[in-house]
Amino acid sequence: MKKIGIFGATGSVGVQTVHIAEKNPDKLRVTVLTCGRNTELFRTQLRKLKPALAVVSAEQAGESTIQALAKEFPRTEFLAGSDGLAQAAEKGDYDVMLNAISGIAGLVPTWRAICGGKDIALANKETIVTGGEFVMAESRKRGLSIIPVDSEHSAIFQCLQSGPATAVARILLCGSGGPFRGYTEERLNGVTVRQALTHPNWKMGRKITVDSATMMNKGLELIETGRLFGIAEDRIEIVIQPQSIIHSMVEYADGAVIAQLGSPDMKGPISYALSFPERWPADVAPLDFRKLSGLDFEPPDEKTFSCLRLAREAMRAGGSSPIALNAANEILVQLFLEGKIRFLDIQKHLERTMDLHVQTAAPDVGSILRIDAEVRARVMERVHRACSA
């Protein structure tokens, strides 16, 4: 029986993790549960799972919300805010953190969980994009495991089980190409928030869905791949596989390519991260090869979708560049979702941010959060100036 802490339980990955926990009561016990603002859904989850510790991390939730929850669930201890989240991550009574928080808000919980000696099942890619170098080094030093939940990285992790790391020739990082695959820049000009939120294959949270539309998601995943598996950028090739059936592949020195296939359903990779090295039934529709119309492959269009090129450049530059890239992207996606900028403004402002970024070292969580805040402020100022010009 593993004790798990589901951080970001009310989001897309979080809800699917709760589902897996409910299906495996003999294998998983949820002892820690956290949400951001969605206390309504959180209440339902608390009622079902009865964790020992729960956190409402949105600062605006207020003392009265926490008091009401504590009254309704007297056997659960409640903490609040980002301090409560960090405390739960480090001191909570659980074995494995499933980090399904979106954005850089997931970095501190991952870090504090490592400080508390916990293993991590990691969906929050921003942890690795911004702090991957020291997060990976510290977890290795402490003998803790970080198992990826992102479907592509779960696939790579699975493919890597079939040969020694020294024999890996290339990683083939797959992606669907998003809802605007094949679009010209002219056509992208007029796309709406609603169109950007309609992914052809995956049902995900809003931020990652927009990232898939701009191809920034693949850019973040490129950096994530390099840092999780210790592979240089020039040995990672991005392959567009529009059906999202092949989740990624690893090519070995002898020319063999090992691929991981499956229905595009996050319950697969979440279940694998929690069951590894075992495999449990995961409630995922099996692939029906008789009905599969075909598997297509194409290269990504880095010219039209410049976010991908910018991510590649940030990965090469290292240091604070991936942090700046991530910070600018988070704020620009938020502005797009709020209807304050257009779709193509995301990559336009991102390009400008990266052009002006002055490289610094970012050796710890404190410096990452400082760089993140500085870049966000600068981007906001630039967008504001552009809008009022």
Q: Which is nearer to ligand NDP, 120 or 251 (CB)?
A: 120
> Are the C-beta atoms of 116 and 91 separated by less than 8 Å?
yes
Q: At its nearest, how many Å lie between ligand NDP and the CB of residue 143?
A: 25
Q: At its nearest, how many Å lie between ligand NDP and the CB of residue 58?
A: 6
Q: At its nearest, how many Å lie between ligand NDP and the CB of residue 203?
A: 7
Other Cβ atoms within 10 Å of 107 Cβ, number: 25
Minimal CA–CA distance to 141: which of 115, 122, 108, 106? 115
Q: At its nearest, how many Å lie between ligand NDP and the CB of residue 20?
A: 13
Q: Which tokens belong to 346?
A: 């995301």
Q: Which is nearer to ligand NDP, 173 or 251 (CB)?
A: 173
Q: Which is nearer to ligand NDP, 251 or 350 (CB)?
A: 350
Transcribe 19-45 into DSSP letters.
HHHHH-TTTEEEEEEEESS-HHHHHHH
Other Cβ atoms within 10 Å of 256 Cβ, number: 12
Outline where DSSP puts E strands in 23-145: 28-35, 53-56, 77-80, 96-99, 119-122
Q: At its nearest, how many Å lie between ligand NDP and the CB of residue 185?
A: 25
Residues that bind ligand NDP (CB under 6 A): 8-14, 35-38, 57, 85, 100-102, 105, 123-126, 150, 202, 204-205, 207-208, 266
Instruction: Give the chain's length.
Output: 389
Helix (H) or strand (E) holding 141: helix 125-141
Q: Which is nearer to ligand NDP, 40 or 278 (CB)?
A: 40
d(CA 141, CA 137): 6
Q: Which is nearer to ligand NDP, 129 or 379 (CB)?
A: 129
Q: Which is nearer to ligand NDP, 36 or 262 (CB)?
A: 36
Q: Which is nearer to ligand NDP, 183 or 202 (CB)?
A: 202
Q: Which is nearer to ligand NDP, 119 or 126 (CB)?
A: 126
Q: Which is nearer to ligand NDP, 72 or 185 (CB)?
A: 72
C-beta nearest to ligand NDP: residue = 11
> Are the C-beta atoms of 207 and 330 separated by less than 8 Å?
yes
> Are the C-beta atoms of 20 and 28 separated by less than 8 Å?
yes
d(CA 134, CA 385): 36
d(CA 66, CA 80): 7
- ∠ Cα 85 276 77 (to 5°): 25
Provide the residue type at 42 as one letter.
F
Angle between helices 216-229 and 321-337 (to 10 degrees): 150
> Are the C-beta atoms of 209 and 235 separated by less than 8 Å?
no
Outline where DSSP puts E strands in 36-114: 53-56, 77-80, 96-99
Q: At its nearest, how many Å lie between ligand NDP and the CB of residue 275?
A: 18
Q: At its nearest, how many Å lie between ligand NDP and the CB of residue 80?
A: 11
Q: At its nearest, how many Å lie between ligand NDP and the CB of residue 176?
A: 12
Q: At its nearest, how many Å lie between ligand NDP and the CB of residue 7?
A: 7
